[in-house]
Amino acid sequence: MTRTWFFILISLTAAPAHADDSRGIAKRLLRMITGVPARENDPRLDAMAAKVSSGDLTGAAYLGTEDDNFYDVTLTQFASHLSTREEFQRTPLNDFTATFVGAAVDNLDARQLLSGDFWYQGKNVAGLPAGDGNSNAHYQFLEASRAPLKTHLQRVSPQRSGIVGAGLLTTWTYLKAHVFRGTNRRPTEFAIRDFLCRSVQDIADLNTPRDRIRQDVERSPGGSPIVFNNKCAGCHGLLDGLAGAFAKWNFEFTDQMVRVNGNVEYTPGSIQPKMIQNAANYPAGYVTTDDSFVNYANLNANSAFGWRGPQEGSGVAALGSMIAASKQFPRCMAERAFSQLCVNVDYTVDRLTRTQKEQLLAAQNLIQGLADDFEASGYQLRRLFAMTATMPKCLNR
77 lies in the site for other proteins, by CB under 8 A? yes
Binding to other proteins by residue 260, rule CB under 8 A?
Answer: no
Closest C-alpha among 171, 164, 65, 68 to residue 120:
171
Q: Do 156 and 139 contact (CB within 8 A), yes or no?
A: no
By C-beta, is 124 or 303 nearer to other proteins? 124
For residue 40, state whether it binds other proteins (rule: CB under 8 A).
Answer: yes
Stretch that binds other proteins, among 67-75, 132-140, 207-215, 268-276 (CB under 8 A): 67-75
x/- letters, 90..119, toward other proteins (CB under 8 A): x-----------------------------
Other CB atoms within a 10 A radius of the CB of residue 254 amount to 11
* Best CA proximity match to 48, nearest among 394, 397, 391, 386: 386
Question: To the nearest whole angstrom, how small is the minimum distance from the Cβ of residue 397 to other proteins?
Answer: 5
Q: Does 388 bind other proteins (CB under 8 A)?
A: no
Least gap, CB of 128 to other proteins (angstroms): 17
Minimum CB distance to other proteins smaller for 35 or for 102: 35
Nearest approach, Cβ of residue 87 and other proteins (Å): 10
- Verify binding: residue 334, other proteins, rule CB under 8 A: no
Site string for other proteins, 344-373 (x = CB under 8 A): xxx------x-xx--x--------------
Phi, psi of 378 (to 5 degrees): 85, 25
Rounded Cα gap, residues 393 and 373, in angstroms: 17
From start to end of the chain, where are the E strands?
A: 119-122, 153-156, 249-253, 262-266, 292-294, 312-314
Only one of the segments 75-83, 213-221, 245-253, 278-286 lies at the binding site for other proteins (rule: CB under 8 A); that segment is 75-83
Q: What is the DSSP letter of 128?
A: P
Q: What stretches of 180-308 show up as alpha helix (H) in DSSP?
A: 186-196, 200-203, 225-227, 233-243
Is residue 88 part of the contact set for other proteins (CB under 8 A)?
A: yes
Return the DSSP state at 36.
S
Within residues 141-160, the interface with other proteins by CB under 8 A covers 144, 146
* Rg, the chain, Cα only: 22
Among 22, 23, 25, 35, binds other proteins (CB under 8 A): 35
Diameter of the chain by CA atoms? Answer: 74
Q: Which of 170, 171, 136, 132 is nearest to 259 (CA)?
A: 136
β-partners of residue 122 are: 153
Asked if residue 342 binds other proteins (CB under 8 A), the reply is yes
Alpha carbons 14 and 392: distance in angstroms, whole number: 10
The residues facing 294 across adjacent strands are 312
8 part of the interface to other proteins, by CB under 8 A: no
Asked whether position 73 contacts other proteins by CB under 8 A, the answer is yes
Q: Which of 22, 53, 69, 115 binds other proteins (CB under 8 A)?
A: 69
Q: What share of the chain is helix, strand, coil (3-state, %, to 5)?
A: 55, 5, 40
Residue closer to other proteins (CB basis): 325 or 352: 352
Residue 299 binds to other proteins (criterion: CB under 8 A): no
Among the listed residues 16, 37, 158, 182, the single contact to other proteins using CB under 8 A: 37
CA gap 392, 385 in Å, rounded:
14
Give residues in contact with other proteins (CB under 8 A): 27, 31, 34-40, 69, 72-73, 76-77, 81, 88-90, 144, 146, 342-346, 353, 355-356, 359, 393, 397
